[in-house]
Amino acid sequence: MADLFASGRLVDFILVVVVLEAAALLIYWSRARRGVAPLDLLPNLCAGACLLLALRATLAGSGWMLASLFLAAAGLAHLTDVTRRWRN
């Protein structure tokens, strides 16, 4: 189990689950027009995915620059999410 964490494979698995979740919610929205609207959902999922990618980059030893890039992208996605919610 420790090897799953150390190698980053667990993060890869969680990222796949996030992508599947996004696909399922977007398909549900397009068919039923119920649930969370895509423009409200995607910034939140993007922020989470970018945080996971920053963790993955750190676990893989990719250096601080790549992790910082993913953290900055997560911050921008979070800011977008908060801005959209604040207007509504």
Q: Are 56 and 18 in contact (CB under 8 A)?
A: no
Over residues 40-57, mean pLDDT: 96
- Over the stretch 26-37, which tens digit does the pLDDT of each residue have? 999 999 999 889
- Return the domain boundaries, the chain: 1-35, 37-87
Burial classification of residue 50, based on how many CB atoms lie within 10 Å of its CB (0-12 exposed, 13-18 middle, 19 or more buried): buried
Whole-number pLDDT of residue 2: 81
Indicate the pTM of the whole model.
Answer: 0.90
